[in-house]
Amino acid sequence: MSVEITTGPPEVRVPASSEVSDTLRTAEAVLSKRAGASVRLADAEDLGGSERSVVMRVRVAETPFELPRTLVVKHYGEHPEWERSDPFAHEAASCQLATALPPEIRVGPELIAHDVQERLLVLEDLGKGSTLADVLFADDPRAAERALLGWARSLGRMHTSQAGREADFEALMRRLGASSWQDPVADDIRRALDELPALFDQLLSVPTSDPVRQRMHGAAELLGSTRYRSFSPSDICPDNSLVTGNGVRFLDFEWGCVRDIVLDAAYLQFPFPSSWCSYAMPENLGESLLATWRSEVVEVWPDLDDDAVLLPRLFDAHLLWVWVSTWWFLPRTGELDSPIDVHMPSPRRSTALVDRWRRVREDAQAAGAPEIAEYADLIVDALVDRFGSGALELLPYPAFR
C-alpha cells in the first residue's frame, strides 16, 4: 500500500527569470489599478517560493500614494481542479482576516493588495530577520529559548485575537470562490485513522485492538465543532515563523483555517510534527512554552487554566499528530528510511517516529490510558526492530547541543 504525503514543506525551487518578470509586471498592474495611477517596482529579490508560487521582495521605485519602501509579492500558479483546497484562497482570506486587526496585535503581514483573477498577493515586508528555524539551527541556546517562548506567545495571541471570527473567515473564502475552508490536515487525519492500522499490521506486525481504535476515533472529535476554535495558519513550522523586534510573526497562510486551538498547542510539546525540522528540545522547555501560550489564551477560554480541562484535550491532540505523522512518514515496503525531507537537515523518519511514540507512551501512562501506553510500547519496539538501534535517539536542535 502506498500513501501520498499531502502536507509538509514543499520543495523550494528557483523561479525562471520569465516568472519573475511576469510577477513584477502583474504586481505593478494590480497596484496601479488600486492607486488609479502608475506604480513602478524594481530590484526583485527571490525569496524562494514553491511549486505553487513565486515569492519575491520588491522595492517601490515610483508611486503616487504612500507605500512602504519594500513589499513582498506572492504570485500563485493555476489551481488544479483535482486539488482539494486552493492555497491562494486560504492565504488571501487569512491575510484579509488578520489585516482587519489593529497592527499592535497582528501576528502576520498586512495585506496591501490582492487580485483574484491574477492570483496575486501584495504583502507587508516583515524584513530580513531570522526565522525560528535559523535560530534553532544556530549555536545560541539562550536566543533559541527566547525565540521559542516568543513563538508560543504569538501563537496564543493569534488564537485570542481571532476567536469567534469563523463566520468572517467562511464569508471571505466564499467571496474568493473557494469550495472548502476546512482544515486541510483534518482529511489526512481521518484517512490515517482508517489506513494506519493496516500499515502497522503489514509493516510492523503490530495489530491494533478495538479499544485503541475507539480511543483514536474519540480523539478525532477535536476535528469537529468545539468551544475552543480559532484561526490557525495550519503550517506553523519554524521556517514560517519570523523572529522580529516586535515578536514572532507568522508568514505562510496557504492552509489557513479555523480549528481547535489545541491542535496548534500540541506543537509546543511535540515539536513541529508536520515539519522537516522536528528535533528534540531540552527537558522542561515544552512545559514553559505551554505555560506561555496558556497565559494568553485563558483571557478568552478561562477554563483552559484548569489542567482537568486542558490536559486531556492536549493528549488527544498529541495522539492525532503522532498518528497522522506516522501515516505520512512511515517508510513503506521498498522505501528507504530517509530523512523527513531529503533536501533539509532533517532527522531520519524512523528516529522521529520512535521519539514520538515514546512520548505517547509516557503521556498515556500519565493520563491513565494503559491501552494506548501498551500499544505505543509495541510500536516503539517494532520500529527499532525494523530500522535498527540508530532510530533510538532523536538529537536536540543544534542550538541546544
367 lies in the same domain as 220: yes
Look at residue 90 and tell me if it is in a domain. no
Look at residue 140 and tell me if it is in a domain. no
Domain range for 39 is 13-80+112-125
388 lies in the same domain as 306: yes
209 lies in the same domain as 118: no
Look at residue 279 and tell me if it is in a domain. yes
Look at residue 101 and tell me if it is in a domain. no
Q: Is the pLDDT of residue 13 over 90?
A: no
Look at residue 2 and tell me if it is in a domain. no
The model's confidence at residue 3, banded by pLDDT at 50, 70 and 90, is very low
70 lies in the same domain as 206: no
221 lies in the same domain as 116: no
Number of domains the chain is built from? 2
120 lies in the same domain as 214: no
The three three-digit cell numbers of residue 336, written as one number: 528507504
CA 19/CA 23 separation, integer angstroms: 6
Which residues are 229's β-sheet partners?
260
The model's confidence at residue 48, banded by pLDDT at 50, 70 and 90, is confident
118 lies in the same domain as 194: no
Q: How far apart are the first and last CA of the chain?
A: 38
Q: What is the pLDDT of the chain when averaged over all its residues?
A: 90
Work out the average pLDDT over 149-173: 95
75 lies in the same domain as 190: no
Work out the average pLDDT over 374-384: 97
Residue range 113-123, pLDDT digits in tens: 999 999 999 99
Work out the average pLDDT over 155-173: 95
What is the reported pLDDT for 324? 97
Look at residue 154 and tell me if it is in a domain. no
291 lies in the same domain as 382: yes
Look at residue 294 and tell me if it is in a domain. yes
Is 47 or 172 the better-scoring residue by pLDDT?
172
Residue range 224-273, pLDDT digits in tens: 999 999 999 988 889 999 999 888 999 989 999 999 999 999 999 888 99
Q: Is the pLDDT of residue 60 over 50?
A: yes
- CA atoms lying within 13 Å on the CB side of residue 189: 24
Q: What is the pTM of this model?
A: 0.90
CA 64/CA 183 separation, integer angstroms: 40
In this structure, the number of other CB atoms found within 10 A of the CB of residue 308 comes to 7
Residue range 178-198, pLDDT digits in tens: 866 778 789 999 999 999 999
Q: Is the pLDDT of residue 39 over 90?
A: yes
Look at residue 146 and tell me if it is in a domain. no
